């Protein structure tokens, strides 16, 4: 997973100055797909051997923070991660810190992410705003 994180961060590391008003709203749902290449079965090899295998790293951001993450490796089972459960294995950077919003072609539509998530057996997602509203409704006394 460290190899994938390094490729994602490397691909999105070009700094770009952005106005403060362009920051992602706290309830925005954004989805990204980043391809990565596993070179000839050895991540430490810098030259392609013709055995290069392409995988994908998917991310769903609920506001500035990652909510769901998928890693699709060509030679092993997919990895599905959920915030609040798998935090120690997930991307720890905010959306702005990843630079994904500046990477051309990285952002995908919600249905593209959900199609893969559902195909791989991921559980349904409840937006953080909806979870918070449900908690408030359960805490406040009925009138």
Quick one: CA dihedral 60, 66, 72, 77, positive or negative? negative
- Which among 60, 74, 64 has a CA at the least distance from the CA of 126? 60
Q: What is the average per-residue pLDDT within 76-95?
A: 96
Phi (first) and psi of residue 61, to 5 degrees: -105, 130
Query: Residue 20: its pLDDT value, please?
Result: 47
Distance CA 2, CA 57 (A): 12
Distance CA 63, CA 41 (A): 35
pLDDT digits (tens, 9 = 90+) for 5-29: 666 767 665 554 444 444 556 779 9
Residue 89 has pLDDT above 60, yes or no: yes
Portion of the chain with pLDDT greater than 90, in percent: 55
Q: What is the average per-residue pLDDT within 115-140?
A: 82
Q: What is the average per-residue pLDDT within 108-133?
A: 90
pLDDT digits (tens, 9 = 90+) for 129-143: 777 666 667 776 655
63: left (phi over 0), alpha (psi -120 to 50) or beta: left
């Amino acid at each position: 997973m460290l190899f994938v994180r390094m490729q994602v961060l490397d691909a999105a590391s070009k700094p770009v100055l952005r106005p403060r008003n362009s920051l992602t709203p706290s309830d925005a749902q954004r989805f990204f797909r980043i391809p990565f290449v596993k070179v000839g079965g050895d991540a430490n090899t810098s030259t392609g051997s013709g055995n290069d295998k392409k995988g994908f790293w998917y991310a769903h951001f609920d506001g500035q923070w990652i909510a769901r993450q998928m890693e699709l490796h060509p030679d092993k089972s997919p990895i599905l991660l959920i915030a609040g459960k798998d935090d120690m294995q997930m991307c720890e950077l905010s959306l702005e810190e990843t630079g994904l919003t500046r990477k051309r072609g990285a952002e995908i539509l919600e249905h593209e992410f959900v199609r893969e998530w559902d195909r791989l057996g991921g559980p349904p997602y409840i937006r953080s705003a909806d979870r918070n509203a449900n908690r408030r409704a359960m805490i406040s006394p009925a009138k």
